[in-house]
Structures are given as C-alpha cells and as structure tokens.
Amino acid sequence: MSDQTEYDYVIVGGGTAGSVIASRLTENPDVTVAVIEGGPSDIDREDVLTLRRWLGLLGGDLDYGYTTTEQPRGNSHILHSRAKVLGGCSSHNTLISFKPLPSDWDEWEEAGAAGWGAKAMDPYFGKLRNNIVRVAKKDQNQIATDWVEATKTALGVPEVVGFNDKPFDEGVGFFDLSYHPENNKRSSASVAYLHPHMEAGDRPNLHLFLETWATKLELEGKIARGVHIRTKEGVEKLLTARNEVLVCAGAVDTPRLLMHSGIGPKKDLEALGIPVVHDLPGVGENLIDHPESVIVWETNGPLPGNSAMDSDAGLFVKRDPDHKGPDLMFHFYQIPFTDNPERLGYERPEHGVSMTPNIPKSRARGRLYLTSADPEVKPALDFRYFEDEGDYDGQTLVDGIKLARKVAEAEPFKKWLKREVFPGPEVTDDAEISELVRKAAHTVYHPAGTCRMGASTDELAVVDPELKIRGMAGIRIADASVFPTMPAVNPMIGVLMVGEKCAEMLGGDGR
C-alpha cells in the first residue's frame, strides 16, 4: 500500500461511476487520485470477468448482500446484491446496456437537475469506453429468437434491432450488452476504464486502495478534507484531498457513509447518538427501484446451450398512450427463475424459461436509514414495494402476467412450452394473480435515488446539479444515489454517464 496520504482527489468506491471518474481525472499526469475500494481487484478473476457466470456471484464473497425490511404487500425475502469488487456492480451484473431515453433525462431536468436534460446528456453516451454491442448472433439462441417472433405476433410490437439507435416506446428484441462476444468477457467499468492502465502501469498518479473500507469522512465544519480508511490488515489512516472528496459508493453505501459522518436527517442521527455536522433531511429518502415479478414455464426439453448471459432479450410495451416512454418491461430468461416461487411451495422444473414483468416507472418511494451508530451494522432498506396509492405497481404486474400468457399462446414460442409453472394456469383472477406475483416479486438490483439531485429550493435534494452536497464544500457525490427519478430502462449506462459528466465538471484536472 502506498505511504502517500495526500492526493488531489480522494474517491470513495472504485465501482461503476468511481472507475470512470478515476480514469478520466488521471488522464492528466499532474493530478493525483486515490480510490478507496472495499473489494479486491477483478483482474484475472474469471468468475467475475466471464459475463455468463454472473448468477454465481450473487450471495457469495463478493456480495455485500443487503436485505429489506418487512414488506407487507411485497416480498420480504429479497436479497439486494451489491458488488464488493473493483468495477462495483458493473462487475456483478448482466451488463444490459440502455442509453436512458430522452424522456428519462428530461424528467430529471423537470425535477430540478438543471443541465441534465436529454440534449445536454446525449454526448456522454458517445464518450463511454465500454464495448456496447448487440447480443452476438452466435449467442442468440433459438428459443429466445422464437420468443421474439411470437411476441411480435401476439402483441403487435415491432422488433428492435439496436435498442440504443433511437428512442422507443415499444419493442422486442435482443439487448445491447457491454461485453466482448468473442470470449464472453465483461466490458465493465473496471475492464473498460481501469484495466488498460493497471496493466500498462501508465498511471503512476492513480492509487488504488483495494480491500479497504472508507469508515468516515473527515470534515472541518462543513468542508470535507478527506476520508478515514481501514485496510484489510486493520490499519487505520486518513487520506486527505487537496481538491475534493468524491463519494461514489453506490445507492446504499453513499447515504450510509454520509450518515455515519454526521450528514443526514438531524432527528434520526441524534436519536442514534451520531453527532450532527450537517442537517440534510433527504439523505436516504427517495429509495427507488425497478421491481419485477415472474411467470415461469416448463419446457418440453432442454434448451439450446448458447447464450450471452441467459437473459438476452427483452420487451417494452406502452399501455397508457399518454405515458412518456414505455410503462411495462420484461426480461426473457432462458432459465426457470423460481427462487421466489419455490419459497411459496412451487417446484423448479428441470428445464424452463421465464418472463419477468418489470415496472419501468414504479411509484413506490422507499427509504434507507440507519438503525445503529455502529458503522458495521448494515442500514435498513425499506422499499415500500407495492404500497403506492392506487396500486399502480401491483396492477402493472398483473397486466404483465396477462400479456406474457398471450405470448405463450403464440408460435413459434408455444411449441417449446409444456406448461405454466408459476403462477399456474388455474390462477386467473386479478386479485389472486396480484397476491401471488407480489409475494414472488424480486428486484433487478437497481436501487437508486437516495441522495437525489435537485434544485436549491428542494428541501429533500442532497446534491445540486453540479453534484455538490448542498450546504457543504469540497465534496460531491456521483453514483446511482443522485438519480432524482428512475430511468424507464436499466440504469447502468446512466450511472456511467453521470461519471463522465462529473469528471468533465471537474475539468479533467479539476483546477
């Protein structure tokens, strides 16, 4: 480990956004950057770098494994996987890559994130270094191909070849992924932004503190001066930032670190005996996600073996003509995704497939909070799944199951299917479908919004449109926690674009 303790920038979290910012800032050889990353390097880790092995990472050594509080109308057993490895969740996830839709960015601007509208954000997609390509022909297996065909016929939606080519409301097709089809290697944030320099050794100004935990921010009044760290060996020290501290620890750990450092809702911190440095009521509020549930079929036999990552295609529909963008989404899984139905007493078929109705614009607004002043104790995550007034979220899942059943009736997909396993063909009543699919709901691991960006008049905004923590100096946040609202599409590309924009705001060298 480097003995140096002072840097121009200290970044907490070498994850999705953190990797981008670290890489961009150190393009200037005169700028020094320390990255504090809780997990190990992903270099030479085939278990991490092979995209198709993603499921094997969940719940393992490289997963912080957060849980949820009791969810009275949903599933209280969801494991919220968060990666503990260089590259963060981009080293753990399925790398489905969607440029957020123009309506998603415009919604941010309307929510007070001035300068983050669609027109302003578009160029950052072009800057991304990840290898974003459509699922390669060799990975497009026959059942997924037949599912795409059947969906077109059953629902009358167009096939989309290249979801990032132009904005869409509806469509079915193979996803774009950040991967290298020739060897199924991830093109995660770490692979795309850090490995070239770690391998070439051409960034002596980039200092990675791996398997090192940021325990607390060093604050002088309302000015951030650095970060206290604890290494794997238990050595504690302070890294100071000449310019700024950048917190990129993700939607769970960023608000957690802030609150343990005395930045957050005064009343809550006082109740736990944490000295309050800066009363910021929005820290931990606005916890948003993409909840989804599942319909599972047994197939007549084994499926073709070729695939990029077993969920290679998807579907978007727009039920409400007045809605901006799609309002119902599905992943098609070439596996029987029965973790939650099994808990409800259903059996996993030997061979099967699934469709997962997903709520692009969930109306649930949850909350993350501390339950102890002990930084080792994980925060509580209360997503308030399906507690929205009017039951928009629950109804979206019911509509999804009905549409999925129509697809299952259409050829050439129908011929593959033996029977519906979950919820089961006998479950046809809306209320009954709703009850079952809410209890079997899961997450696609998209928590965001817990330090949301907003205007100076927004009491619950945590950062301003320059990503600076409101009322403080020397500290910004750049990760999924700053999302004011959830994009209709999977969020990783949005996070990478936040990273690019943050680096640009720092002027590359930040001086």
Residue positions forming the annotated binding site: 85
Counting residues that bind ligand FAD (by CB under 6 A) gives 40
The answer to whether residues 288 and 365 touch, using CB atoms and an 8 Å cutoff, is yes
- Assess 446 for contact with ligand FAD (CB under 6 A): yes
- Assess 90 for contact with ligand FAD (CB under 6 A): yes
Q: Quickly tell me which residue has 């998603």 as its tokens.
A: 104
- Assess 96 for contact with ligand FAD (CB under 6 A): yes
Which among 3-11, 91-99, 102-110, 159-167 is the span making contact with ligand FAD, rule CB under 6 A? 91-99
The answer to whether residues 379 and 302 touch, using CB atoms and an 8 Å cutoff, is no
Complex with ligand FAD: residue 88 or 357, whichever CB lies closer: 88
Among 108, 168, 179, 213, binds ligand FAD (CB under 6 A): 213
CA distance 124 to 452: 20
Q: How many Cβ atoms from other residues are within 10 Å of residue 458's Cβ? A: 17
CA distance 326 to 87: 29
- C-alpha angle 443/449/455, rounded to 5°? 160
Q: Is 17 helix (H, G, I), strand (E, B) or coil?
A: helix
Complex with ligand FAD: residue 291 or 491, whichever CB lies closer: 491
- The gap between the terminal CA atoms of the chain, to the nearest Å, is 27
What part of residues 220-249 is at the interface with ligand FAD (CB under 6 A)?
248-249
- Assess 39 for contact with ligand FAD (CB under 6 A): yes
Say how many CA atoms lie within 13 Å of 476 toward its Cβ. Answer: 23
Complex with ligand FAD: residue 257 or 407, whichever CB lies closer: 257
Q: Least separation, in Å, of the C-beta of 402 and ligand FAD?
A: 25
CA distance 315 to 108: 24
- Assess 420 for contact with ligand FAD (CB under 6 A): no
- Assess 36 for contact with ligand FAD (CB under 6 A): yes
Q: Give the list of residues 6+ apart from residue 112 with CB closer than 8 angstroms, or none.
A: 453, 454, 455, 457, 458, 461, 465, 484
Q: Quickly tell me which residue has 């100004």 as its tokens.
A: 205
Complex with ligand FAD: residue 139 or 479, whichever CB lies closer: 479
Among 8, 9, 10, 14, binds ligand FAD (CB under 6 A): 14
Q: Would the CA dihedral through 496, 278, 270, 238 be positive or negative?
A: positive
- Assess 38 for contact with ligand FAD (CB under 6 A): yes
Q: Is 88 helix (H, G, I), strand (E, B) or coil?
A: helix
Q: If DSSP states are collapsed to H, E and C, what string results for 458-507?
A: CCCCCECCCCEECCCECEEECCHHHCCCCCCCCCHHHHHHHHHHHHHHCC
Among 33, 34, 83, 502, binds ligand FAD (CB under 6 A): 83
- Assess 23 for contact with ligand FAD (CB under 6 A): no
Surface-to-core class of residue 271, CB atoms within 10 Å of its CB (0-12 exposed, 13-18 middle, 19+ buried): exposed
Cα–chain center distance at 259: 21
Among 11, 15, 356, 396, binds ligand FAD (CB under 6 A): 15
Q: Least separation, in Å, of the C-beta of 432 and ligand FAD?
A: 30
- Assess 445 for contact with ligand FAD (CB under 6 A): yes
- Assess 491 for contact with ligand FAD (CB under 6 A): yes
446 annotated active-site? yes
Q: How many Cβ atoms from other residues are within 10 Å of residue 351's Cβ? A: 15
List the catalytic residue out of 260, 278, 290, 446. Answer: 446
Complex with ligand FAD: residue 14 or 282, whichever CB lies closer: 14
**Alpha helices, DSSP H, located in 26-117:** 46-49, 102-110
- Assess 488 for contact with ligand FAD (CB under 6 A): no
Complex with ligand FAD: residue 128 or 257, whichever CB lies closer: 257
Among 16, 141, 286, 307, binds ligand FAD (CB under 6 A): 16
Q: Least separation, in Å, of the C-beta of 422 and ligand FAD?
A: 21
What part of residues 111-170 is at the interface with ligand FAD (CB under 6 A)?
none
Site map 249..268 versus ligand FAD, x via CB under 6 A: xxx-x---x-----------
Q: Which residues bind ligand FAD (CB under 6 A)?
A: 12-18, 36-39, 58, 81-84, 88-90, 92-96, 213-214, 248-251, 253, 257, 445-446, 479-480, 490-492, 495
Q: Which residues are identified as catalytic?
A: 446
